[in-house]
Chains A and B, each alone.
Chain A
Amino acid sequence: MDHKSQTKYLIVGGSHAGLTALDEIRVCDPEGSVTLVSKEYPPYSPTVLPYIISGKINERSIFLRDDQYFSEKKVTLIKNHSVVAVDTKVSEITLDDGQRVQYEKLLIASGAEPTLPPIPGLSPSSAFTLRTLADVKRIFQEVGQASSALVLGAGLVGMHLAECLAQKGMKVQVVEMLPQILPGYFDLDCSELIRKEFASQGINCYTNNSAIKVEALDSKVVMSLQKGQRLEGGMVIATTGVRACFDFLSNSEIRTDRGVLVDDTMRTSVKNVWAAGDVAQAKDFFSDKKILSATLPDAIIQGKIAGKAMVGTEAISPYPGGIPMNTFNFFGNRAFAIGLANPEEKETYEIDTMYLPTAKIYQKMVFKENCLVGSSTINSLLDPGILLNLIRRKVDMTAVKAEFVGNPVQMSRRLMWKTWRREEQERKRDDIG
């Protein structure tokens, strides 16, 4: 097929970043033509997939938008196709069926895909991954037969999945190469407490230990670990990480590193091309580096900025920089980690930790130069969104730090009121009759 079409805005990828950008474009430009290319349709979030396996949510009710939404927004949809090439010189993309689309402005929100570590015997045929609905269906078929599972990689997806499989009655074991579970978000103390809770639910996590071989034996899979253990399971699911999807840019002039490099308005090195979400490599909040942030909240923030920037509105607040953040609900406990909960060079930070073992409450606050820069907690009553804003707005805590550490729930709410909440209320006071 050598069909060619034209559009003002072209969005590649229909998950959080792409959809948020689409909404934002339509706020500012109700009429300009928009085309959205999505491999998956209707759109859904990879975040919900473990919950389909546990049965918490039905796979039919996970979709974020429907046909009616796209027709109301006047969007031309190209479903179930992927982009194979981008020619930035003539502003044109080519799809897997040869179809070409010419754009005025392009957003790359193609997301990320799971990777398999180079372990002998580990291949797409011997191990499952979890990123798409098709993956869920494959896992479901196997779950019906297997009574046990091995999860490789103790990140958020792996740990969620471990709990979900255990709730299906399976025996689950988790293997992690790094010294702790949930690396990158939680600090060691916090992750140890979480690991204990998993152990008490029958899920063992082998940390500081990597798989060296995976082999099929009868109807089972045997995983040999570096430290000598041999784990057996009905299936192996690898959740060791993802990589940004931008192979289709290889012959373009768009600069890439581990992701697509973007500036503070999500613009790439090519003037009429932007990138947002898991594929974008953008400013870090805490350093000068450009990082892959790969969290859902960041995909939203980036998608909003990209949408505004593509329309060309002046009212853009530049990207504040990626802050690692996540919430983690496990066996009825609530944990979250925001910012530098586990900083390197600990001596340059002021760290306050509180642990109440019987109530299973843990709370850690990390300060630098009188500003909060990180926090991790289990079962506290803290409002994560307020803490995130205290970090992002660099609220000066010199005068209140001691009281904040002693009573962070109330003090963070007070700081919220006294800074951004009151400010916004005063701005709106004339609207409120």
Chain B
Amino acid sequence: MTLGKAYKTIAVYPEKCDGCGDCVQACLESKSYTKNPIHSRIKPIKEIHEEFFAPVICLQCGDPSCIPNCPSGALNKNPESGVVEWNEEKCVNCLLCTLGCPYGGISYDLIAGHVIKCDHCAGDPACVKVCKPKALEYKTVSELYKKWGDLEDLFVPGVSACLGCNSELLMRHTMRRVGPDTVLATPPGCIGGVGAVGYNGLTATKTPVFFPLLTNIASMLAGARRYYNRIGRDVTMLALAGDGGTADVGFQSLSGAAERGEEMIYICIDNEGYMNTGVQRSGTTPYGAWTSTTPVGPALRGKTRDNKYMPLIMMMHNCEYVATASLAFLEDYYKKLDKAIEASRRGMAYIHVFSPCPTGWRFSPSMLIEVARKAVETNMIPLWEFEYKTGELHFTYPVDNPLPVEKYLSLVGKYRHLSPEQIKHIQGVTNQRIEVLKKFAKS
């Protein structure tokens, strides 16, 4: 299954634009052979009191409002390129298109005597090439899908995951990127539970997969990789394991493998508890969260201890690569997978993926991505990466003005009972963790 078509677009980043006007000159050279900016299809905002520059240009809209306004059929969206094309032969110069566009993307050129608009220079826009501050980029809407959408999905359709399962999204994307030359280890947990390791003798994966115990995921993968190294084959070792198999029961084998520098990608799918066995607490269940073993009643108000922060623990093992991720930021995740694949040839790459669970955390499946996003925007789940070869930790999605943690907590049912004091505690833990990470980032 592939993921459909995406068009190229000129993306505008107004915060990077310095108003230099090079794009106008490039457009003029490409389109009009004059120096009169009136002929330019791209127009930076300038000469105003406030310092604000942002080019005005046709967006090649998906549902353009210039096209239906044309009484003579002179405007059309090219189904191949997505460019809204103007046909001079059919145009009657009524200019109703200029009334239809809310972005100033098509305008009347008084000297040429007809409307002008951007046509992407037949797929090689001149303005983008000369933009030094990179305020213009020529890229595909949903670049990711275009890039990886044609690769094979290495899981069969129709696994038995719950509605809105983050783990299914994660395993499909991860396997698509890591590729078929992989041995996958999935211990007891949701990934194994949805059928990855077995349907009456068949597996749901299209790669070799095995089912280690919760306690020996990393050591079994280490052995497999060493064997492949001995026979001279370069095969990716990948673990898709839950937080129990990673941070609790399976920790000693993971810690040992990391310390020995075993070559693998270990991905922890952290849904903050034992979800497939009935929502019990784990070492990564956060403070205040309801689980079936940290109930809410007159005496107890959810978990009383803070979670352990696995990514930093793994960083202190001197892993080749350590990162955190949230699937609300898929492009960020793909970049981290790229680095993890490369690092797994030298030692351990560890990615800790925040994985909200609609079933166990009590929220609507339709809210999955929003929950995954708000956790990042409140700084509850900071996105960062660490590379041993440079010794640097850096934030991949720095949140300068984080939302208050309530914005995240209020979306999730397992936090419904929280008192103001508990929320204050969570805010305190969140702030403290960010400060600790910032110290690593500075050094």
A contact set with B: CB distance below 8 Å = 16, 20, 45-48, 51, 56-57, 61-64, 296-297, 300, 325-329, 332-334, 336, 338, 379, 381, 383-386, 388-389, 403, 407, 410-411, 413-414, 416-418, 420-422, 425, 430-433
Contacts and interface: CB of A to CB of B under 8 A. Distances in A.
Interface in B40-74: 43, 45-50, 52, 54, 56, 65, 68-69, 71-73
A389 B105 CA distance: 14
Contacts of A61: 72-73, 89-90
For chain B, the bracket of interface size reads 35 or more
B142 A297 contact: no
Interface string B304-331: 0000000000000000000000001001
Given A56-B92, A413-B56, A417-B45, A431 B99 contact: no
Contact of A64 (B11, B73, B101, B110): B73
B193 interface: no
Given A45-B72, A379-B110, A417 B102 contact: no
A297 B99 contact: yes
Contact of A332 (B65, B71, B113): B113
A414 B48 contact: yes
Nearest to B373: A430
A327 B71 contact: no
Contact of B102 (A326, A379, A416): A416
A5 B15 CA distance: 59
Nearest to B12: A425
Contacts of B108: 329, 334
Interface string B280-307: 0000000000000000000000000000
B45 A414 contact: yes
Contact of B92 (A51, A388, A389): A51
Interface of B: 9, 11-12, 14, 38, 43, 45-50, 52, 54, 56, 65, 68-69, 71-73, 89-90, 92-96, 98-104, 107-108, 110, 113, 139-144, 146-147, 328, 331
Given A57-B72, A61-B90, A296 B45 contact: no
B73 A63 contact: yes
Contacts of A326: 99
Contacts, number: 145
Contact of A16 (B68, B92, B146): B68
Contacts of A297: 69, 96, 99-100
A388 B47 contact: no
Given A48-B92, A61-B73, A327-B96, 11 more contacts: A20-B68, A48-B72, A51-B92, A56-B92, A57-B90, A62-B90, A297-B96, A384-B98, A388-B102, A410-B45, A417-B45
B47 A407 contact: yes
Contacts of A20: 68
Contacts of B113: 332
Contacts of A403: 48-49
> Most chain-B CB neighbours within 10 Å: which of A332, A421, A432?
A432
Given A385-B98, A432-B9, A300 B89 contact: no
A51 B12 CA distance: 37
Nearest to A386: B104
Contact of A422 (B14, B56, B90, B98): B14
A329 B93 contact: yes
Contact of A327 (B9, B72, B94, B104): B94
Please give me the 7 A-B residue pairs with the lowest Cβ-Cβ distance, nearest first.
A433-B143, A45-B71, A383-B104, A47-B71, A327-B95, A51-B92, A385-B101
A241 to B, nearest CB: 19
Contacts of B90: 57, 61-62
B366 to A, nearest CB: 15
A389 B142 contact: no
Given A403-B49, A414-B50, A433-B144, A325 B99 contact: yes
B68 A56 contact: no
B14 A413 contact: no
A417 B54 contact: yes
Contacts of A420: 102
Given A16-B68, A48-B92, A327-B95, A411 B103 contact: no
A101 to B, nearest CB: 26
A420 B102 CA distance: 9
Contacts of B141: 431-433
Nearest to B106: A385
B104 A329 contact: no
Nearest to A433: B143
Contact of B104 (A63, A325, A385): A385
Contacts of B69: 296-297, 300
A385 B72 contact: no
Contacts of B50: 414
B46 A432 contact: no
A336 B95 contact: yes
B103 A62 contact: no
